[in-house]
Amino acid sequence: MRSIIITLSVLLFIPFAGITQTTDEDAFAIREIYDVALSEGQCYKTLEYLTTQVGSRLSGSPGAAAAVDYGQQTFEAMGFDSVWLQPCMVPHWERGEKEIVKIVASQTIGTQALNAVALGGSGSSGKTGMAAEVIEVRSLDELKAMSPVQVKGKIVFYNRPMDPLQVSTFAAYGGAVDQRVFGPQTAMEYGAIATLVRSMTTKLDDVPHSGVTIFEDKGKTIPAVAISTKDAELLSALLEKEKVRVYVRTTSHWMPDKLSYNVVGEIKGSTHPDEIILVGGHLDSWDLNQGAHDDGAGCVQALEVIHIFKMLKKRPNRTLRCVWFMNEENGQAGAKEYANWSNGLGEKHIAAIESDRGGFTPRGFTTEADESVYKIHFKKAKGWEPLLSPYGLTIKTGGSGADVTRLKPQKGLLFGLAPDSQRYFDYHHAANDTFDKVNKRELELGAAAMTSLVYLLDKYGM
């Protein structure tokens, strides 16, 4: 069946007839990669088990430990030359009991519950909770312009939306997320007893989105919760009419760091074994969800690269290494451990590709590298774009991924798979990031895109 598909697909590449023989061969090889990915792919099935059977995988949790076990078993079944678990100590934060956040005794609407979740790293209010007047700000700078007297004993409400005018939702996220990551610490320094943060999503709905917040001292924290965008709009409108008091109850707390692991699998290169091409995603997720788009999709797409090479019976020229990183969400302990280990060994990653932007339709790759080599590497990779453009893919500047960027000292080219971003923040860090939100074909197209790039990197080097 596959031979029929390939034969038919050859017709699609008649326009390449005038180009060099090598390019013709590459065009046919990439078409074959797509045929296998779309007809014999396993990544959707792997994702289904990881998300629905293993489930949420917050660092330090039983779910994360189960995911490591599943990863090791799955890698071994894939037939790598070697599979190992790389230990790393990860932070262990627990959400505790369901959060309670509500407007109390409003003159306009009375008492009303808000859709809210504690941010990762939030402190506890204590069993009885706390209530205080709310003050709204749009930025950290706006808060810093206030006197601590104005803030002391109050609840700070950060309400800066993601910019809807940004075509890239990742750019919009980057322009708003500082209030979630650093806002609670700043509010605490000014005397606030708790913080509310508008959820990081472009969608107006009732779904609150979690995510990390950073306190300088884990022993000194305050409750930090995200509220849904609809409730943020409600609270903001109410504050224009009256003073508002909000009750917050969280029981979140830090536990001692815990031993966990990156899952690593490797196929040694046949001719250039010292040159490594890494594909990866991060295994951990937030505790609220199945972590389907963030980042189960990336993990299974990376593993699918190996599966496709196996199906094509292609032994790589260079060493292929697949890594499921642990603890990207709230510490990046796995990425730090891997980079320290690899850099310490003097390894040479000629390339590393991370998928961590959801399992949506792939649009191409963004890149970065050490400044001394970036222009040369980028020019070479950009030269492959005509082979990828029939599949709607481009190669651009713009970074790679949090788990691979620390490999820059090895002076290879680092890539991030860049899918369409418009729906990603509908699900990012929220309870609705579940398996049913991932489209099988889109997921497989992303795996095919990654494999095609790996094929070119493996053949031509960097």
Give Cβ neighbours of residue 301 (< 8 Å, ≥ 6 apart): 43, 279, 281, 355, 359, 417, 443, 446, 447, 450
Query: pLDDT of 32-57, one tens digit each?
Result: 999 999 999 999 999 999 999 999 99
Q: How many helices (H) and strands (E) does the chain have?
A: 15, 16
Confidence band for 22, pLDDT divided at 50, 70 and 90:
low
Separation CA 16–CA 24 (nearest Å): 6
CATH 3.50.30.30 domain locations along the chain: 96-251
Separation CA 348–CA 420 (nearest Å): 31
* 16-30, 133-147, 264-278: segment of lowest average pLDDT: 16-30
Query: pLDDT of 414-462, one tens digit each?
Result: 999 999 999 999 999 999 999 999 999 999 999 999 999 999 999 999 9
Nearest alpha-carbon partner for 341 in 273, 276, 285, 269 = 276
Tokens of 283: 């295994």
Question: How does the average pLDDT of the chain come out, rounded?
Answer: 95
Confidence band for 15, pLDDT divided at 50, 70 and 90:
very low
Query: pLDDT of 251-264, one tens digit each?
Result: 999 999 999 999 99
- Looking at the DSSP bridge assignments, the partners of residue 415 are 353, 367
Nearest alpha-carbon partner for 406 in 352, 364, 326, 329 = 352
Quick one: pLDDT at residue 139? 97
CATH 3.40.630.10 domain locations along the chain: 2-92+257-460
Quick one: pLDDT at residue 23? 81
What percent of the chain is predicted at pLDDT more than 70? 95
Q: Fill in the DSSP letter of residue 266.
A: E
* DSSP assignment of 292-317: IIIIIHHHHHHHHHHHHHHHTT---S
Query: pLDDT of 75-125, one tens digit each?
Result: 999 999 999 999 999 999 999 999 999 999 999 999 999 999 999 999 999
Quick one: pLDDT at residue 318? 98
Measured in degrees and rounded to the nearest 5, phi and psi for residue 19 equal: -90, 175
3-state secondary structure 40-55: HCCHHHHHHHHHHHHC
Separation CA 192–CA 281 (nearest Å): 37
Quick one: pLDDT at residue 311? 97
Separation CA 144–CA 151 (nearest Å): 10
pLDDT for residue 18 is more than 60: no
* DSSP assignment of 95-154: --SPPEEEEEEETTTEEEE--EEEPBT--B--TT-EEEEEEEESSHHHHHTS-HHHHTTS
pLDDT for residue 286 is more than 80: yes
Q: What CATH code would you report for 96-251? A: 3.50.30.30
Give the strand pairing for 110-113 and 194-198. unpaired
Confidence band for 7, pLDDT divided at 50, 70 and 90:
very low
Quick one: pLDDT at residue 16? 38
Separation CA 249–CA 14 (nearest Å): 65
Query: pLDDT of 377-413, one tens digit each?
Result: 999 999 999 999 999 999 999 999 999 999 999 999 9
How many CA atoms, within 13 angstroms, populate the side-chain half-sphere of residue 223? 33
* Tokens 């003097």, residue located: 346
Separation CA 254–CA 270 (nearest Å): 47
Measured in degrees and rounded to the nearest 5, phi and psi for residue 450 equal: -65, -45
Global pTM value: 0.94
Separation CA 370–CA 411 (nearest Å): 5
| Residue type (1 letter), 221 | T
Quick one: pLDDT at residue 289? 97
* Cα 198–Cα 199–Cα 202 angle in degrees, nearest 5: 110
Q: Is 209 within 8 Å of 430 (Cβ atoms)?
A: yes
Confidence band for 12, pLDDT divided at 50, 70 and 90:
very low
Give the strand pairing for 110-113 and 100-106. antiparallel
Measured in degrees and rounded to the nearest 5, phi and psi for residue 356 equal: -150, 40
Strand, helix or coil for residue 181: helix
Separation CA 333–CA 338 (nearest Å): 9
Q: What CATH code would you report for 2-92+257-460? A: 3.40.630.10
